[in-house]
Amino acid sequence: MSESAAAIPDSNVRFLRLPAVMSRVGLSRSGIYAKIATGDFPVPTKISRRCVVWTNFSIDSWINSHIKAAGEN
């Protein structure tokens, strides 16, 4: 097994395309890419010349961190 495959937490990793990410986080395309530019959103992984994806774990982690931050205020 390769090192990168060993780093995956479990077999429930799913790739999410932009429409699914937009739906889950409630942000527009431009909002997501603006947050990526400022470092406040996970960077997508390019899987082909014209296709980028996020993992469900990276999006879930981002959502949870924002929920926790909102609770601290």
Q: List CB contacts of 16: < 8 A, sequence separation 6 or more.
A: 24, 53, 54, 55, 56, 59
Q: What is the longest distance spanned by two Cα atoms in the chain? A: 44
Q: List CB contacts of 54: < 8 A, sequence separation 6 or more.
A: 15, 16, 21, 42, 44, 45
% the chain with pLDDT above 70: 85
Comparing 69 with 73, the larger pLDDT belongs to 69
pLDDT in tens, 45-61: 999 999 999 999 999 99
Comparing 7 with 38, the larger pLDDT belongs to 38
Establish if 4 belongs to a structural domain.
Answer: no
Q: How far apart are the first and last CA of the chain?
A: 44
Establish if 33 belongs to a structural domain.
Answer: yes
Distances (CA, A) of 54 to 13, 32, 68: 10, 12, 21
Q: Please give the tally of structural domains in the chain.
A: 1
Domain that holds residue 29: 13-72
- Tell me the whole-structure pTM to 2 decimals: 0.80
Establish if 25 belongs to a structural domain.
Answer: yes
Establish if 68 belongs to a structural domain.
Answer: yes
CATH, residue 44: 1.10.238
